[in-house]
């Protein structure tokens, strides 16, 4: 029997990678979700015989309605319409809508599935206590998608966390590794957007260059694995072959590695352990003999100092960090601030008393997070203009 699945963000890199590794004869895709790219969405629907599409951008939705010649395809504009689409619980959902926009869809889809793979960072960083409640309430299995978190998850899911001494997340160093800090602002934006080992969108490429993306992954790891920040660290690893290192108190350390492709963790979120990965799956001795791991140089990545401001207890402060970074990266991509200003302005703003106060406030609903995100972006847009 085919597994019933859905993909939130099917036209993004994670969604496309998932569709690359599955076959129509194995899965029935109940619905696909995209923001604007309805042309690609139609191609995906045609290939996988998908009858329901959700297009969240209203203009794109109207345009899609106009050109849709397939009467069997139903197109929706509101994510709340899933209650009319899903009649029985799905077997699997991939949640890969990026940014705060993916928060409500990720939260709302949980009750409709048996298993969810979450690639939306904001859901895990800002709303994890709310997400975990829904997972428990509806008895839904959760699997992390990021290569680092999936690697850790595969290794420690049956381990007593008290036996873990340290967890290391690896970072490639981004497109500016080894660049003289004094000359960074003279570097063309195209270089900053060209990641050396991963294919990324513009926003996450900038986050990789500042190392904010890795800071977010530390926050995710703390939430997912319920491990204090003092047990999580970052190592620079340019060839991105090792994705995580677990150091145990008994003297044993384990390295989790795989080729630099998201298809491997994605494959393992949807297939069972007895399935064989169809892509390249040999040990890369060249990379293994040239690991080149070293401690992060905080003077080269000053934004990583934000980790010193985090507390183990969850609060709305995580939403503050996500929101401030979002607006600063947007300003950089609009060429309104230079690259170094992202980190320096970020560190200056998060120290403000008004933002530090959110460490004492716990998010009670998803709307608390959405509203705070809107408020901070609105306030900073005016301040930075």
CA distance 364 to 62: 35
Share of the chain above pLDDT 70, in %: 99
Residue 282 has pLDDT above 90, yes or no: no
* Sign of the torsion angle spanned by Cα atoms 109, 214, 200, 279: negative
List, in order of start, the domains of the chain with CATH numbers: 3-145 (3.40.50.720), 146-299 (no CATH), 315-385 (1.10.1740)
Helical (H) or strand (E) element with 166? strand 164-171
Residue 49, judged by CB atoms within 10 A of its CB (0-12, 13-18, 19+), counts as exposed
Q: To the nearest 10°, the Cα dihedral for 311, 315, 320, 323?
A: 120
User: What pLDDT is stored for residue 384 in this prediction?
Assistant: 80
Residue 382 has pLDDT above 90, yes or no: no
Mean pLDDT, rounded, of the chain: 93
Q: Residue 255 pairs with which residues in a beta bridge?
A: 245
Angstrom CA distances, 259 to 14, 117, 247, 262, 301, stand at: 16, 20, 22, 9, 26
- Considering only 48-62, 159-173, 186-200, 287-301, which range has the smallest mean pLDDT? 186-200
């Amino acid at each position: 029997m085919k597994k019933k699945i859905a993909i939130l963000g099917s036209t993004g890199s994670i969604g496309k990678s998932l569709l690359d590794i599955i076959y129509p004869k194995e899965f029935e895709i109940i619905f696909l979700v995209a923001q604007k790219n309805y042309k690609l969405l139609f191609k995906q629907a045609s290939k996988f015989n998908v009858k329901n599409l959700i297009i969240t951008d209203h203009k794109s939705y109207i345009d899609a309605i106009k050109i849709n010649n397939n009467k069997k395809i139903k197109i929706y504009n509101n994510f709340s319409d899933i209650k009319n689409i899903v009649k029985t619980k799905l077997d699997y959902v991939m949640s890969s809508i990026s940014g705060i926009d993916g928060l409500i869809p990720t939260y709302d889809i949980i009750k409709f599935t048996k298993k969810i793979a979450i690639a939306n960072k904001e859901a895990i960083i800002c709303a994890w206590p709310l997400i975990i409640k829904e997972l428990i309430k509806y008895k839904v299995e959760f699997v992390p998608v990021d290569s680092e978190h999936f690697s850790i998850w595969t290794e420690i899911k049956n381990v007593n966390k008290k036996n873990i001494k340290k967890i290391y997340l690896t970072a490639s160093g981004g497109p500016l590794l080894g660049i003289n800090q004094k000359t960074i602002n003279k570097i063309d934006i195209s270089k900053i957007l060209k990641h050396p080992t991963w294919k990324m969108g513009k926003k996450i490429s900038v986050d990789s260059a500042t190392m904010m993306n890795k800071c977010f992954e530390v926050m995710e790891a703390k939430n997912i694995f319920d491990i204090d920040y003092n047990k999580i660290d970052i190592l620079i690893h340019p060839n991105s072959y090792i994705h995580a290192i677990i150091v145990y108190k008994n003297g044993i350390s384990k390295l989790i590695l795989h080729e630099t492709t998201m298809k491997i963790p994605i494959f393992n979120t949807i297939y069972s352990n007895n399935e064989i990965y169809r892509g390249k799956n040999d040990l890369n001795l060249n990379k293994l003999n040239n690991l080149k791991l070293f401690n992060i140089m905080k003077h080269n990545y000053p934004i990583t100092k934000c980790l010193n401001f985090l507390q183990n207890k969850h609060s709305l402060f995580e939403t503050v960090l996500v929101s401030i970074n979002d607006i600063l990266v947007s300003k950089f991509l609009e060429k309104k601030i230079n690259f170094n200003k992202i980190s320096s302005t970020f560190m200056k703003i998060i120290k403000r008393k008004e933002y530090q106060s959110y460490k004492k406030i716990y998010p009670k609903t998803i709307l608390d997070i959405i509203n705070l995100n809107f408020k901070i972006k609105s306030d900073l847009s005016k301040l930075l203009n």
